[in-house]
Amino acid sequence: MKYYDKLIFDLSKEGRRGYSLPETGLTNHKMKEEVPSTLLRGSAPSLPQVSEVDVVRHYTNLSQMNFGVDTGFYPLGSCTMKYNPKINEEIASMPGFQEIHPLQPESTIQGIYSIYSEMEKMLSAITGMKYFTLNPCAGAHGELTGLMIMRSYHRNRGDFARTKVIVPDSAHGTNPASAAVCGLDVVVVKSNAEGLVDVDDLKPLLGPDLAGIMMTNPNTLGLFERDIKEIASLVHKAGGLLYYDGANMNPLMGVVRPGDMGFDIMHLNLHKTFSTPHGGGGPGSGPVGVAEFLKDCLPYPHVEEGEESNLLYAKGETPECAGMVSGHMGNFGIILRACAYILSIGRQHIGEVGYMATLNANYVKESLRDVYKLPIPSVCKHEFVFDGLINDGAREGKEGATTLDVAKRLLDFGFHAPTIYFPLLFHQALMIEPTETESKETLDAFIEVMHTIAAEAAEDSDILHAAPHNAPIGRPDDTTAAKHPIINYRDLKAEA
């Protein structure tokens, strides 16, 4: 073990400090007088006692054990791990943005409110939705907000029977989960042999109990739902609303608008399509857009123009609205970065993003289909799904290499793994989304490695079963790691 692979607690030395602050003059006695006893600690916190250089090395080393889009190609399907341009960070770190507080008087944050307002207008122009709320803090949070809007709409009209939400079998797991959290009943519609929503399977599900349908377009197989106009008309005729999961908006941006396809409500993942950091790299943002007739159902607070003055203000709760979904108005720093991204690309060029993302995905797909199984061979949009290796090396007494093995082996070559075992339609799903920000050289290097791995599997799958060979950790028990994570020093010591 290298010295700095140690936990920071193991580097701790009694009395060592990385700072020296002036005395506060606040004695323990005085503190007890000033702070309510329920808020006072019983004992000092257990913190590592280390110097500044130890702290810097600790975090720098940790960051190097991680994988990020700034360190390598990250083709994680459905997640749109595009490059996060540094101009976004530069703008977000300007003091005028950093040193504000959400409880400041409204007259002092008019500039911030106008960014909200401008951003809503830009998202409306991109999506064809009339109004937006920027309050939700993730894609799944946007889904929940959108469904709350859907529910409010039906309830405001006195229609309490509409509790059913239709979700395709290819949907992301958050779709049915959000509907269930919203108290709605989930019904699944099947995909047809082409991987698209089966309209014949949909028809009998439509009725007076229908609240709406949730769809992703292109769907999670990277395929455009070309029957969307017919589906929209059937759902609307049955009195339901159409919800668009905008996680896959990247290939359509500036080209096709969900509002024009017939959707009534949608969310966007700013941390995907609009280049802000996500996952472990930062907070998310899931703005929700609605058609004009749903404006009153938007959650509060919402930036509006004052009637008597020209000041913008945050409109509060109304009886029709869907309620409040986040403290204040969402993750402003992320909204700002996404705003910088849109403005830096500009109206003339925003439509090129989707074309490049689509071209890159098809290039990788076509270059690898000779060694990986391609269950749906049509032209894809921004991503596509393989169903494992064509020759996985399985023979008498030897198990073949799985999708998990391929994913783990990729790490040895310095590439992040694609999304695996999702969507659930295929047993060995391997979902690849290169994004538009990768060069042909990077894609070629990835293609070459994927060919190397396929050749290794065919020859001797053991090398794949044992991968990764040079990552900081190999194969943790994923289920235990997710269900019982040990994330603090005390639990780790207790476990040891």
Ligand X SMILES: Cc1ncc(COP(=O)(O)O)c(C=O)c1O
Give the one residue of 54, 120, 225, 245 binding ligand X; rule: CB under 6 A: 245
In the complex, least distance from residue 327 CB atom to ligand X, rounded to whole angstroms = 18
264 binds ligand X (CB under 6 A): no
Choose between 239 and 246: whose C-beta lies nearer to ligand X. 246
Least distance in Å: CB of 172 to ligand X? 3
Using the rule CB under 6 A, give the single segment among 3-11, 113-121, 245-253, 444-452 that binds ligand X.
Answer: 245-253
CB nearer ligand X, residue 8 or residue 140: 140
Is the CB of 335 or the CB of 457 nearer to ligand X?
A: 335
Shortest gap between Cβ of 279 and ligand X (angstroms)?
8
- Give the CB-nearest residue to ligand X: 139
Nearer to ligand X among residue 197 and residue 457 (C-beta): 197
Residue 142 φ/ψ, nearest 5 degrees: -65, -40
Nearer to ligand X, 50 or 76 (CB): 76
The answer for residues whose C-beta is within 8 angstroms of residue 485's C-beta and 6 or more apart is: none
Among 162, 172, 381, 416, binds ligand X (CB under 6 A): 172
Peptide bond into 423 cis (omega under 30): yes
Name the residue nearer to ligand X (CB basis): 55 or 177. Answer: 177
250 contacts ligand X (rule: CB under 6 A): no
CA–CA separation, 465 and 409 (whole Å): 8
Other CB atoms closer than 10 Å to residue 252's CB: what's the count?
A: 25
From residue 125 to residue 164, the character string flagging contacts with ligand X as x (rule: CB under 6 A) and all else as - is -------------xxx------------------------
Minimum gap (Å) between residue 69 Cβ and ligand X: 15
Q: Is 284 in the site for ligand X (CB under 6 A)?
A: yes
Nearer to ligand X, 8 or 79 (CB): 79
Residue 221 vs 238, nearer CB to ligand X:
221
Contacts of 102 (CB under 8 A, 6+ apart): 327, 328, 329, 332
Residue 273 makes contact with ligand X by CB under 6 A: no
Distance from chain centroid for Cα 415:
20
Among 152, 170, 216, 326, binds ligand X (CB under 6 A): 216
Q: Name the residue nearer to ligand X (CB basis): 380 or 457.
A: 380
Q: Is 174 in the site for ligand X (CB under 6 A)?
A: yes
Comparing CB distances to ligand X, the nearer of 239 and 286 is 286
Residue 155: CB minimum distance to ligand X, A: 25
Nearest to 125 by CA among 245, 268, 248, 271: 268
Cβ closer to ligand X: 112 or 429?
Answer: 429
454 contributes a contact to ligand X by CB under 6 A: no
239 part of the interface to ligand X, by CB under 6 A: no
79 near ligand X (CB under 6 A): yes
Instruction: Choose one: 187-195, 224-232, 243-251, 480-488; the region binding ligand X (CB under 6 A).
Output: 243-251
Q: Which region among 81-89, 242-250, 301-309, 340-348 touches ligand X (by CB under 6 A)? A: 242-250
Count of residues in contact with ligand X, rule CB under 6 A:
15
Whole-angstrom distance, CA of residue 445 vs CA of residue 176 = 37
Judged by the rule CB under 6 A, the positions of this chain that interact with ligand X are 78-79, 138-140, 172, 174, 216, 220, 245, 247-248, 269, 284, 286
